[in-house]
């Protein structure tokens, strides 16, 4: 499967991606998502995903957003392809924070490579760029 949705619906990368609900029905200005770009063959990606799933502190933060999504860059489904094209991760794992505003997702910040729980939490707590 190309996407691990953590029990939430994957947001469309753009208005051109078909979805059963319109973006306006799902997301509002200021909503935040966290995307991890990953692959099954990537050891650091799998370690990061496992830590994110097991850490209570990270889960608490993810629950305060619209979701933490793991996108497999090798998958050919519409959503994985659209988000991978939008993010253009040069290396994996890449974790990106997006914020929804004016009908689109804008990248706030990213990190590349494995991070321990403390570093991941610090990344999530950084204030958004102006």
- pLDDT, one tens digit per residue, over 6-65 is 444 555 554 333 333 344 457 888 889 899 999 999 999 999 999 999 999 999 988 888
Q: Look at residue 16 in the predicted model and tell me its pLDDT.
A: 36
pTM above 0.75, yes or no: yes
Predicted confidence (pLDDT) per residue in 75-119, tens digit: 888 888 888 888 999 999 999 999 988 888 889 999 999 999 999
Q: Look at residue 65 in the predicted model and tell me its pLDDT.
A: 86
Q: Does domain 31-120 have CATH number 3.40.30.10?
A: yes
The rounded distance, in Å, linking the Cα atoms of 53 and 64 is 15
Hunting for tokens 């519409």 — which residue is that?
A: 78
Q: Look at residue 67 in the predicted model and tell me its pLDDT.
A: 83
**Which sequence spans correspond to the domains of the chain?**
31-120
**Chain centroid offset of residue 74 CA:** 16
The rounded distance, in Å, linking the Cα atoms of 4 and 104 is 21
């Amino acid at each position: 499967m190309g996407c691990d949705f953590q029990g939430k619906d994957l947001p469309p990368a753009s208005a051109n991606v078909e979805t059963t609900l319109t973006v306006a029905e799902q997301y509002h200005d200021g909503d935040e998502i966290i995307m991890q770009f990953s692959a099954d063959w990537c050891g650091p990606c799998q370690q990061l995903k496992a830590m994110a799933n097991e850490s209570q502190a990270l889960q608490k933060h993810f629950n305060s957003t619209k979701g933490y999504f793991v996108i497999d860059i090798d998958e050919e489904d519409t959503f994985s392809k659209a988000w991978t094209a939008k993010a253009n991760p040069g290396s994996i794992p890449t974790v990106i924070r997006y914020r929804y505003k004016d009908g689109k997702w804008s990248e706030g910040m990213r990190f590349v490579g494995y991070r321990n729980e403390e570093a991941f939490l610090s990344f999530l707590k950084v204030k958004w760029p102006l």
